Structure 1
Amino acid sequence: MLQVRDLHAYYGKSHVLHGVDLDLRQGEIVSLLGRNGVGRSTTAKAVMGLVHRTGSVLLDGHETVGMPAHEIAHLGLGYVPESRDIFPGMTVEQNLFLGQKGRQPGRWTYADMYRLFPRLGERANTAAGVLSGGEQQMLTLCRSLMGDPRVIIIDEPTEGLAPMIVQLVADFLVQLRESGLAVLLIEQKLSIAFDVSDRVYVMGHGNIVFEGTPAELRTDAQVRREWLEV
């Protein structure tokens, strides 16, 4: 569903990505791992068209390099940024409404969101700005789903969350896979990535330095030591 080839990304004159290749198929979770600052979040932004990029990014066979981000979203790519970016003065339900791409809802409904995260249902009429960090993370995940994506990129969804909420997010990711979505997960916690992922990529200095299964990465001590461990 998503095929990335020779992807380069730039912030002004700063060349951050140096020819990234990755693939994401329907109904799988693929994690992009690596230390902070190696280009994982930039990869997400580049795929989404939010930074200057060159190379090829195919979404269901459609070349998206050169397209603006809102057109890429309408092709079926969802993006959950690390910053969450909720609308604090609007209610939970209003935030979810803004996630829809048109007036008519897609296959995901408010009821689905409240089933996945019952706490959001309890706070449907509450201003998003007063939600806890975990609740805001639930909201931004669900808001992206309301846009009915086929592929979704999720950047550091468990950052700063309590262990109980981390498990809720992990369960949520598995349900997305079971629904047929393709999920590109950027995650710092290796335990979560190993538990939910079908495949993993490891990034170092703007390049992919490892591709394989979680089991293969577990047994590759050299890659873990050189590119993941602190």
Structure 2
Amino acid sequence: MLEIKDLHAYYGKSHVLQGVNFEVGEGEIVSLLGRNGVGRSTTCKAIMGLVAPHGSVRFQGEDLGRLKSHQVARKGIGYVPEDRLIFSGLTTRENLQMGIQKMGAEALWTLDDAYRLFPRLQERADVKAEMLSGGEQQMLTMCRTLMGNPKLIMIDEPTEGLAPQIVTQVGDFLLEIAAKGISILLVEQRLSIAMRVSHRVYVMGHGQIVFEGTPADLEANEAVRKEWLEV
């Protein structure tokens, strides 16, 4: 579904991505792991066109490399950034409604789905988003992205700063998204959740992919974990 080949990206003269290669299949959860600063978030931004991509970015066989970010989104890629970017002055319900692209039978995700998965969002539906807790804001931004009915969703560090109970909820939520046939590219620092939900994992180091395999493969490879993941 998503094929990345020889992807390079720059911030000024800084060569951040140095030939990244990976793919995400239909209905698959793929985690992009690595320490902070290795290029995981930049990879998502390059796919979305927020950073100029150099290389091949193909989605369902179509080259996205020259598209602007709103055009990439319309092709069916959703993006949940690390900083969430909620509309703080709008209510929870209004934030969710901002994400809606399709109504009726074509809509795979509705307000009712969001409220069923995260009842707290319904309880706080008329509360301004700036008044929500960090966990509630994370739930909101993921659900808002799903309102656009993406075929693939990229989620950057969804569990950062969240309580263990909310982390478990996020993991269950990711599994439910994939069960509906939506592919997920998960950027995650917390190894435990990535190992629990992922079909495959990639490890990044110095702007390149240094490991590819299943969670079981990574669990068995102590050398890779020590070299590229452990502090």
Q: TM-score range by the shorter chain?
A: over 0.9
- 1:180-199 alignment runs, 5 A limit: 180-199=181-200
Q: Helix, strand or coil: the match of 1:85?
A: coil
Structure 2 portions without partners, runs of 5+: none
> What is residue 89 of structure 1 aligned with on the other side?
89
Q: Judge conservation of contact 1:74–1:101 (CA < 8 Å) in 2.
A: no
> What is residue 206 of structure 2 aligned with on the other side?
205
> What is residue 160 of structure 1 aligned with on the other side?
161
> What is residue 74 of structure 1 aligned with on the other side?
74
Tell me, in whole angstroms, the C-alpha distance in 2 between the residues paired with 1:117 and 1:229.
32
Shift of 1:159: 0.1
Tell me, in whole angstroms, the C-alpha distance in 2 between the residues paired with 1:67 and 1:59.
12
> What is residue 60 of structure 2 aligned with on the other side?
60
Tell me, in whole angstroms, the C-alpha distance in 2 between the residues paired with 1:220 and 1:140.
34
Tell me, in whole angstroms, the C-alpha distance in 2 between the residues paired with 1:49 and 1:102.
23
Query: Percent sequence identity over matched residues?
Result: 61
Tell me, in whole angstroms, the C-alpha distance in 2 between the residues paired with 1:103 and 1:91.
20
TM-score, normalisation: structure 1: 0.98
Tell me, in whole angstroms, the C-alpha distance in 2 between the residues paired with 1:57 and 1:91.
35
Q: Which amino acid aligns with 1:192?
A: I
Q: What is the RMSD of the two structures over their aligned residues, measured on CA atoms?
A: 1.1
Structure 1 portions without partners, runs of 5+: none
Q: Judge conservation of contact 1:78–1:144 (CA < 8 Å) in 2.
A: yes
Tell me, in whole angstroms, the C-alpha distance in 2 between the residues paired with 1:83 and 1:112.
24
Shift of 1:102: 5.8
> What is residue 152 of structure 2 aligned with on the other side?
151
**1:62-85 CA distances to partner (integer Å, 9 max, x unpaired)?**
100010000000000000000000
> What is residue 219 of structure 2 aligned with on the other side?
218
Tell me, in whole angstroms, the C-alpha distance in 2 between the residues paired with 1:103 and 1:218.
43
Q: Helix, strand or coil: the match of 1:52?
A: coil
Tell me, in whole angstroms, the C-alpha distance in 2 between the residues paired with 1:103 and 1:97.
11
Tell me, in whole angstroms, the C-alpha distance in 2 between the residues paired with 1:23 and 1:52.
19
Q: Which amino acid aligns with 2:227?
A: E
**1:3-29 CA distances to partner (integer Å, 9 max, x unpaired)?**
111110111221100010110011110
**1:167-226 CA distances to partner (integer Å, 9 max, x unpaired)?**
010000000111101000000011100000000000000000000000000111111111
> What is residue 23 of structure 1 aligned with on the other side?
23
Q: Which amino acid aligns with 2:98?
A: L
Tell me, in whole angstroms, the C-alpha distance in 2 between the residues paired with 1:113 and 1:62.
30
Q: Judge conservation of contact 1:34–1:203 (CA < 8 Å) in 2.
A: yes
Tell me, in whole angstroms, the C-alpha distance in 1 between the residues paired with 2:225 and 2:108.
39
TM-score, normalisation: structure 2: 0.97
Q: Helix, strand or coil: the match of 1:95?
A: helix
Tell me, in whole angstroms, the C-alpha distance in 1 between the residues paired with 2:2 and 2:100.
22
Matched, 1:36 2:47: no
Matched, 1:113 2:137: no
Q: Which amino acid aligns with 2:36?
A: N
Q: Count matched residues.
A: 230
Tell me, in whole angstroms, the C-alpha distance in 2 between the residues paired with 1:74 and 1:52.
18
Q: Which amino acid aligns with 1:141?
A: M
> What is residue 173 of structure 1 aligned with on the other side?
174
Q: Judge conservation of contact 2:102–2:149 (CA < 8 Å) in 1.
A: no
